[in-house]
Structure 1
């Protein structure tokens, strides 16, 4: 893929070399448009090149790198293409992810595997691929930043969210642990914990989403947090602080509150071994 040079009228606004995954819709698309408008050189990744082109528009300082984050070798190849174009990375924002729910306490192992493949291992593949480029930037005098999008659901266990919440909690732990190992290597680590954001993914939710913000508002808050090098970027604060407080309660209290959130699904209640005898 050809290298895209910064647009002369916008390049002075921003000077970072950034890799953004999950850039085709929702928070990722909003982030992409903001970062490109600020003049940064941004490598945009998602599975569909046509969708990436729509997000990039006429910005010739965007580098389109279609890739499936769940494929480790493909992510390594994507990083090599970015390195050829950018000669290092000042920032990697690993935003790709998905959400599927378990219903009625029935465990679907392939579903859990799909969610973990995108949310956890997709990010791990990106981290592995991006780190050499971040180290290169450090050697060039930059203070690189590694960021990943987790979720406020990582703070408090909720019904139906076994796969999604566990994958995000695992990602948060992974990033927080990695922060310790990278602290003396000159690479900062930020974890993004959004509450409810209005995106095509959350449009499928069949439950209330209190204090939901637009993808554009989420992008603004994330960019502000990244610029301030915040280790934990969480929003909207009224919601996320409440969820954090719930997660800090004693186990018995967390169970009592969580049980009240369980939906009473008569069809699920009937679907038991005893009812099928």
Structure 2
């Protein structure tokens, strides 16, 4: 397969690029860190190509991606996380996170979609954080909730073109981004685990890839409870 992966300079995206290349696929690794991208291409020079750009920059993103053709699989995994201190409410935080997690991801979709053929697969990476109103997660959680909704709507509208659309909802994954968290992260998994779960889910054609299974299932069950219960549970977890 010919695969495009954003966020490939660290975390889940980087592991996916390496694992798909090891399997013999052709990967176009996208990210901001040119040095890391060069290191990736050196590991698999005949299988990994790279594009250096910032998905938050619309002009850069469109220029880099809109000429790509013959793509079988797109995995949009680039994202950032910030936690809100409600006592020092900063609306600019929403702008920063949304610019990458929502608008940047949509710039990628805009650039790639015209050239995606029947049978291709578009995968958007969200988070299980969308399932409950977690403390301080107003910004990050809402951005991932938006991505999940967009994914489901794209699945509806792209079905007639024969393009499959899937969402990925990871739990806590040990990455440079989560390393900044100063709270307990239950059932945290490695990037190797995350990559394996995503690749297996994609291979099976799953529309919603959530992991680890126990953690994701627990949150999905809690999300079905009355909203007052959800708030009470989240408050208890935050105390």
- Fold similarity call, TM over 0.5: yes
Match of 1:134 in 2: 116
Match of 1:247 in 2: 223
Match of 2:80 in 1: 98
Does the 8 A contact of 2:66 with 2:112 survive in 1?
no
Alignment partner of 1:55 out of 40, 44, 63: 40
Does the 8 A contact of 1:43 with 1:65 survive in 2?
yes
Q: What is the deviation of 1:105?
A: 4.4
CA separation in 2, counterparts of 1:78 and 1:43?
11
- Runs of 5+ unmatched residues, structure 2: none
2:49 alignment partner, SS class: strand
CA separation in 1, counterparts of 2:121 and 2:180?
32
Q: What is the deviation of 1:260?
A: 1.4
Match of 2:128 in 1: 152
Match of 1:164 in 2: 140
Match status 1:25 vs 2:7: no
CA separation in 1, counterparts of 2:160 and 2:105?
22
Match of 2:177 in 1: 201
- How many pairs were matched up? 238
1:212-251 counterparts in 2 under 5 A? 212-251=188-227
CA separation in 1, counterparts of 2:231 and 2:73?
39
CA separation in 1, counterparts of 2:42 and 2:87?
44
TM-score (norm 1): 0.83
Q: What is the deviation of 1:61?
A: 2.1
1:213 alignment partner, SS class: coil
Q: What is the deviation of 1:63?
A: 1.3
Alignment partner of 2:167 out of 180, 191, 194: 191
Does the 8 A contact of 2:131 with 2:223 survive in 1?
yes
Does the 8 A contact of 2:168 with 2:198 survive in 1?
yes
Larger Rg belongs to? 1
Alignment partner of 2:61 out of 75, 78, 96: 75
Q: What is the deviation of 1:133?
A: 2.1
Does the 8 A contact of 1:105 with 1:160 survive in 2?
no
- Runs of 5+ unmatched residues, structure 1: 1-15, 264-277
- C-alpha RMSD over aligned residues: 1.2
